[in-house]
């Protein structure tokens, strides 16, 4: 006779819901948003069906809709005009720059929306790299100083949390000190602590035209600063350093192929953990769903729930709006 039957707790949805270990809600989502120059402009991103580059006014409209659906956090990226790009990234801290104007417009329209601008130089670089290049190499400390200026300018515009995604050594401390010295003691830092050099970023880079340029004089990829995907212990080392330097939230990127890293970090720290469900992961699900190979809605919810099960507290995902609509139904 069988005394222990695990299926007793799976008999119906009410019982399954009663014993469910993690629950997905709209408050878990951060929506990445692409912004472009102009007025009343909207451009589809072919490799990311359903995702657009929008001008500021249409971005604000989109943020209002997201907030009404329960998605209360956005992560901002700028499509920078070529004539504004150089090797210093100085446009990144222009008080009248596209990022700064976007932050202010969103906060003016929806004060309770959490705005997390990306802090990295690649959209502003003529080389498509996250750092300043000298003698064919990405230099660390000069890049950190530029990132600190960028972060402070975001705080001045009204950002709630700055999100350095560059993977320079020591940049969290430099940014934290710059924010403190400028009086922005309440502005948080969400650090991309374990960001891997991944093939899953392709659609994102096409959306911003931020891929490294094919130039023999500079690194052809980002492997000298982003992490080697063969490694996991290294991720913990990166995370611990960023925690010591003053990070408030830790990011692991990409997401689904790196759930083991999410789980290891969750066991090691008490800070909130973010995970990035990146553009390549989004594109794969969308392509399969469009071909009828996967159920779109069910696959989205299952994938996002995996992040919560692994230990993430928040999920940066291009599915945020769609997932919120599914959950609200």
The length of the chain in residues reads: 329
Strands (E), 63-214: 73-78, 114-119, 132-134, 137-139, 161-164, 188-195
State the pairing for strand pair 29-35/52-54. Answer: parallel
pLDDT at res. 216? 60
pLDDT at res. 207? 77
pLDDT at res. 206? 77
Q: Which two tokens stand for residue 161?
A: 């949390």
pLDDT at res. 214? 67
Phi/psi of residue 261, nearest 5 degrees: -70, -45
pLDDT at res. 209? 72
Q: Which of 85, 107, 195, 264 is catalytic?
A: 195
* Distances, alpha carbon 100 to alpha carbons 65, 95, 155, 190, in Å: 21, 6, 9, 18
The answer to whether 195 is a known catalytic residue is yes
pLDDT at res. 72? 98
CATH among 3.20.20.70, 3.50.40.10, 3.40.50.300, 1.20.1090.10 for 28-328? 3.20.20.70
The answer to whether 149 is a known catalytic residue is no
Q: Which of 253, 264, 286, 321 is catalytic?
A: 253
With a CB cutoff of 8 Å and minimum separation 6, the contacts of 97 are: 78, 91, 153
Rounding to the nearest 10 degrees, give the CA dihedral for residues 305, 307, 313, 318.
-80
Q: Which two tokens stand for residue 133?
A: 């290049």
Rounding to the nearest 10 degrees, give the CA dihedral for residues 297, 302, 308, 310.
-150
Per the annotation, where are the binding residues for Mg(2+)?
Answer: 238
**Average pLDDT, 10 consecutive residues per value, the chain (329 residues):** 91 93 95 97 94 97 98 97 94 97 98 98 92 93 98 98 97 98 98 96 80 74 94 97 97 97 97 97 96 97 97 98 97
């Amino acid at each position: 006779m069988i005394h222990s039957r695990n299926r007793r707790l799976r008999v119906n949805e009410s019982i399954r819901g009663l014993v469910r270990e993690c629950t997905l809600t709209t408050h878990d989502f951060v929506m990445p948003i692409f912004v472009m120059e102009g007025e009343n402009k909207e451009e589809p991103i072919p490799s990311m069906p359903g995702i657009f580059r929008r001008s500021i006014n249409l971005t604000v409209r989109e943020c209002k809709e997201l907030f009404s659906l329960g998605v209360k956090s956005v992560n901002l990226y700028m499509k920078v005009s070529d004539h504004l790009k150089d090797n210093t990234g100085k446009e990144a801290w222009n008080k009248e720059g596209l990022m700064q104007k976007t932050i202010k417009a969103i906060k003016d329209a929806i004060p309770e929306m959490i705005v997390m601008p990306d802090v990295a130089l690649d959209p502003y670089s003529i080389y498509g790299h996250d750092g300043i290049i000298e003698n064919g190499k990405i230099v660390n400390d000069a890049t950190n100083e530029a990132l600190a200026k960028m972060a402070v300018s975001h705080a001045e515009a009204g950002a709630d949390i700055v999100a350095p995604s560059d993977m320079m050594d020591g940049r969290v401390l430099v940014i934290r000190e710059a924010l403190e010295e400028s009086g922005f003691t309440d502005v948080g830092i969400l650090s991309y602590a374990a960001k891997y050099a991944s093939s899953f970023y392709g659609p994102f880079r096409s959306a911003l035209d931020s891929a490294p340029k094919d130039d023999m004089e500079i690194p052809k990829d980002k492997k000298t600063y982003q992490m080697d995907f063969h490694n996991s212990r290294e991720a913990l080392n990166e995370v611990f350093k960023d925690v010591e330097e003053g990070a408030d939230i830790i990011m692991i990127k990409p997401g689904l192929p790196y759930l083991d890293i999410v789980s290891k970090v969750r066991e090691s720290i008490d800070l909130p953990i973010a995970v990035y469900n990146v553009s390549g992961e989004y594109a794969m699900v969308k392509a399969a769903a469009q071909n009828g190979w996967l159920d779109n809605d069910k696959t989205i919810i299952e994938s996002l729930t995996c992040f919560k099960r692994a230990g993430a507290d928040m999920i940066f995902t291009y599915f945020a709006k769609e997932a919120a609509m599914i959950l609200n139904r």
